[in-house]
Structure 1
Amino acid sequence: MMEETSTQNIDKRIQMAVEAFRFLKNTTINERAEFMNAVADQIEALGEELLTVTHAETSLPLARLTGEKARTAGQWRSYAKAVAAGIYTEARIDLAQPEKQKGDLRKYNVGIGPVVVFGASNFPFAFSTAGGDTASAIGAGCPVIIKAHPAHPQTSQIMADAISAVVKAFGWPEGIFSHITGTSYEIGAYLTQHPDIRAIAFTGSFNGGKALFDIASRRENPIPVFAEMGSINPVFAFQNLLETKAEALAKEYITSLTLGVGQFCTNPGVFIALKGESFNRFINTLKEEIQKVAPVKMLHKGIFDNFEKNKSIALEQPDVEIIVSAETESSSGNATVIKTSAGNFLNNPVLSEEVFGPFGIVVACETDEDLMQIARQLKGQLTITIAATHEDVRDNSTLITILKDKCGRLLFNGMPTGVEVVYSMQHGGPFPSTTDSRFTSVGPDAVKRFVRPVCFQNWPDEFLPDELKNENPLQISRMVDGTVNSGSLKLQTT
Structure 2
Amino acid sequence: MIEETSKENIDKRIQRAAEAFQFLKNTTINERAEFMNAVADQIEALGEELLAVTHAETSLPLARLTGEKARTVGQWRSYAKAVAAGIYTEPRIDLAQPEKQKGDLRKYHVGIGTVVVFGASNFPFAFSTAGGDTASAIGAGCPVIVKAHPAHPKTSQIMADAINTVVTAFGWPEGIFSHITGTSYETGAYLTQHSDIQAVAFTGSLQGGKALFDIANRRENPIPVFAEMGSINPVFAFQNLLETKAEILAKEYMASLTLGVGQFCTNPGLFIALKGNSLDRFINTLKDEILNVAPANMLHKGILESFEKHKNIAIEQPNVEIIASANTTTEDGQGHASIIKTNAQTFLNNPVLSEEVFGPFGIVVVCETIDEIREIAHQLKGQLTITVAATDEDLRDNLTLVSLLKDKCGRLLFNGMPTGVEVVYAMQHGGPFPSTTDSRFTSVGPDAVKRFVRPISFQNWPDEFLPEELKNDNPLQISRMVDGEMNSGSLKLQTT
Q: TM-score, normalised by structure 2?
A: 0.99
Confirm or deny that 1:394 pairs with 2:396: yes
Report the residue type matching 1:27 in the other structure: T
Q: Deviations over 1:170-215 (max 9, x none)?
A: 0000000000000000000000000000000000000000000000
Hey, what's the Cα distance between the residues in 1 that align with 2:334 and 2:347? 27
Confirm or deny that 1:315 pairs with 2:315: yes
Q: Are the aligned partners of 1:75 and 1:443 in contact in 2 as well (CA < 8 Å)?
A: yes
Q: Deviations over 1:313-363 (max 9, x none)?
A: 101110000001101412211100000000000000000000000000000
SS in 2 for 1:88: coil
Aligned to 2:22: 22
Confirm or deny that 1:335 pairs with 2:337: yes
Hey, what's the Cα distance between the residues in 1 that align with 2:191 and 2:383? 28
Q: Are the aligned partners of 1:234 and 1:384 in contact in 2 as well (CA < 8 Å)?
A: yes
SS in 1 for 2:335: coil
Kindly state the Cα deviation for residue 101 of structure 1 after the two structures are TM-superposed.
4.1
Q: Are the aligned partners of 1:102 and 1:457 in contact in 2 as well (CA < 8 Å)?
A: no
SS in 1 for 2:296: coil
Hey, what's the Cα distance between the residues in 1 that align with 2:189 and 2:102? 44
Alignment of 1:35-54 (within 5 A): 35-54=35-54
Kindly state the Cα deviation for residue 102 of structure 1 after the two structures are TM-superposed.
4.0
Confirm or deny that 1:345 pairs with 2:347: yes
**After alignment, is 382-391 or 94-103 more displaced?**
94-103
* Cα 1:339–1:97 shift into 2, 3 Å: same
Hey, what's the Cα distance between the residues in 2 that align with 1:199 and 1:99? 43
Hey, what's the Cα distance between the residues in 2 that align with 1:192 and 1:293? 41
Hey, what's the Cα distance between the residues in 2 that align with 1:476 and 1:100? 29
Kindly state the Cα deviation for residue 98 of structure 1 after the two structures are TM-superposed.
3.9
SS in 2 for 1:230: coil
Confirm or deny that 1:466 pairs with 2:468: yes
Aligned to 1:8: 8
**After alignment, is 58-67 or 102-111 more displaced?**
102-111
* Cα 1:273–1:100 shift into 2, 3 Å: farther
Kindly state the Cα deviation for residue 62 of structure 1 after the two structures are TM-superposed.
0.2
Hey, what's the Cα distance between the residues in 2 that align with 1:100 and 1:118? 51
Aligned to 2:490: 488
Name structure 1 gaps, 5 residues minimum. none
Hey, what's the Cα distance between the residues in 1 that align with 2:28 and 2:110? 11
Name structure 2 gaps, 5 residues minimum. none
Hey, what's the Cα distance between the residues in 1 that align with 2:227 and 2:99? 45
Hey, what's the Cα distance between the residues in 1 that align with 2:168 and 2:251? 50
Q: TM-score, normalised by structure 1?
A: 0.99
| 2:430 paired residue among 428, 435, 440 | 428
Aligned to 1:150: 150
Q: Are the aligned partners of 1:424 and 1:443 in contact in 2 as well (CA < 8 Å)?
A: yes
Hey, what's the Cα distance between the residues in 2 that align with 1:187 and 1:304? 24
Report the residue type matching 2:225 in the other structure: V
Report the residue type matching 2:145 in the other structure: I
Hey, what's the Cα distance between the residues in 1 that align with 2:110 and 2:312? 48
Hey, what's the Cα distance between the residues in 2 that align with 1:345 and 1:100? 63
Q: Deviations over 1:85-136 (max 9, x none)?
A: 0000000001112454441110000000000000000000000000000000
| 2:448 paired residue among 446, 449, 469 | 446
SS in 2 for 1:266: coil
Q: Are the aligned partners of 1:93 and 1:107 in contact in 2 as well (CA < 8 Å)?
A: yes
Aligned to 2:227: 227
Aligned to 1:254: 254
SS in 1 for 2:438: coil
Q: Are the aligned partners of 1:240 and 1:389 in contact in 2 as well (CA < 8 Å)?
A: yes
- Sequence identity (%): 85
SS in 2 for 1:304: helix
**After alignment, is 68-77 or 100-109 more displaced?**
100-109
Aligned to 1:115: 115
Aligned to 2:386: 384
Q: Deviations over 1:283-302 (max 9, x none)?
A: 00000001101111000000
Q: Are the aligned partners of 1:230 and 1:266 in contact in 2 as well (CA < 8 Å)?
A: no
Kindly state the Cα deviation for residue 230 of structure 1 after the two structures are TM-superposed.
2.0
SS in 1 for 2:357: coil
* Cα 1:395–1:15 shift into 2, 3 Å: same
